[in-house]
Structure 1
Amino acid sequence: MPSYPYTPVTGKLKTLLQKVRSTGVPPKLATAHLKSLGFTSSNDASMIGVLRFIGLIDGSSIPTPLWSEYRGQKHRAVLGKAIKQGYADLFALYPDANAASVADLTHVFSTSSTGGEQVIRQTVQTFKTLVEEADFSSAGGNALSTGPLHAPAAPSMAPALPGQNSGSSLPHPAVHIDIQIHISPDSSSEQIDKIFESMAKHLYGSKPVAQQS
């Protein structure tokens, strides 16, 4: 299992994440850049390792495309995706690790660290701080996914028969019927009239008009 990151200044981690979204993208996230943002303590540099672990910066501390993506409107979902990628082994063990108890997290982190009790506690708190700033409702394979390509088919509704109470206040769906009639060119006008009289009788319930003698 990986060596999980931690920072003793977890209270400043949220502020740094806010700075990522509100300030320009630096060529490199170095200690000098942290100081320019107001993080002047020697412990503040530990936050660089946290951002590297979740993929906002690469091994050379250069911002990745995920950094720019995190600056968008869906930053909480993007952070959720980054956390699930960085802590992949943890989420493989606990699919809902973002909601795992402190006891469970302590057990997992202690098995992958040689640090003492204080280090493990800070590792747990670092993870919890990241989780508080993230949204995991759509942080699966693609946090910015807009849903399935094909919507599920709507249930069909059969129209109620005449005189039958459907028991529902929903309106009956409209039914449209196309009828094609093929009349031979050799048909007489009397035959054609009979055809349309029959149609009126069976489709509309009309009675044929009596012919006057």
Structure 2
Amino acid sequence: MDGSVGSELINFNYQDEMRKDSMADFNYTTVPGKIKPFLEKIRQIGVPPKATVQWLKTIGFKSSNDTTLLGVLKSVGLVDASGVPTGVWSNYRGAHHKTVLGDAIRTGYAELFAVYPDAWQQDIKDLEYVFSTSSSAGKQVISKTVATFKSLCECAEFGEPNNQPSPVLHTGPMHAAIARPSAQPVNSDARNSHNPSVHIDIQIHISPEASTDQIDQIFKSMAKHLYGAKENE
């Protein structure tokens, strides 16, 4: 057997095994350095009916390793499971392509962002740890998975993390009242009234991830609706 052919077979089998070991929820490419020029290219050309290996070759990505770029498109929702471009692809070709990609990455890597809301700012070791705990893949595959994620993030814009859960105000029984209005003198008319008295307790559940501004807004709203209503009586 020719030496060059043998090396190609070994390379193919090696890549195939890597793909089998890859994380089920996160595709990766063996050529993360090509992600940026690849994304730039798809913004310049027309939208294909389907993203295929042959299509890759027609736009200049002819290496056998370049085929792994197709999986990256699926990871961020630019194409569906069959390779057909989605609305995200169309939006990505617009002026706000970086923020479109940022949103797509948040969605595609939702599990990662659940651990690190600012995942794009985390260092490689922390990201490798998260990916490795969700996969039985080897170190090299995990490294490529992280490199793929990092390369995608370099082409996107995220802004400040804004997916913190909003504090929720619940009414109902409580273990201890936050504040109870001081007792007011009851006039004789009130004593003779047959209207039932009403006692309301308020319980507030605030997420531990809530920001100081969010907490302040809760108490400002309480002051407005509770004390403000009393002043208007």
TM-score when scaled to structure 2?
0.58
Equivalent residue, structure 2, for 1:4: 26
Equivalent residue, structure 1, for 2:148: 126
Q: How does 1:191-202 map to 2 (within 5 A)?
A: none
- Return the offset for 1:2: 5.0
Matched length = 141
Superposition RMSD in Å: 1.6
* Aligned counterparts of 1:38 and 1:138: Cα–Cα separation in 2: 36
Partners of 2:117 and 2:161 within 8 A in 1:
no
* Aligned counterparts of 1:104 and 1:58: Cα–Cα separation in 2: 29
Runs (5+) with no aligned partner, structure 1: 142-213
Letter in 1 for 2:77: G
* Aligned counterparts of 1:139 and 1:117: Cα–Cα separation in 2: 29
Deviation sequence 1:123-178 (CA, Å, 0-9, x none): 1100000000000017858xxxxxxxxxxxxxxxxxxxxxxxxxxxxxxxxxxxxx
Q: Which has the higher helix share?
A: 2
Equivalent residue, structure 1, for 2:56: 34
* Aligned counterparts of 2:97 and 2:162: Cα–Cα separation in 1: 14
Partners of 2:118 and 2:161 within 8 A in 1:
no
- Cα 1:116/1:52, change in 2 over 3 Å: same
* Aligned counterparts of 1:123 and 1:37: Cα–Cα separation in 2: 24
Equivalent residue, structure 2, for 1:112: 134
Answer with 1 or 2: which has the greater Rg: 1
- Cα 1:131/1:46, change in 2 over 3 Å: same
* Aligned counterparts of 1:33 and 1:140: Cα–Cα separation in 2: 37
Deviation sequence 1:55-79 (CA, Å, 0-9, x none): 0000110000000000000000000
* Aligned counterparts of 1:112 and 1:6: Cα–Cα separation in 2: 15
Partners of 2:28 and 2:72 within 8 A in 1:
yes
Runs (5+) with no aligned partner, structure 2: 1-22, 164-233
- Cα 1:78/1:138, change in 2 over 3 Å: farther
Q: How does 1:8-19 map to 2 (within 5 A)?
A: 8-19=30-41
- Return the offset for 1:25: 0.3
Q: How does 1:33-112 map to 2 (within 5 A)?
A: 33-112=55-134
TM-score when scaled to structure 1?
0.63
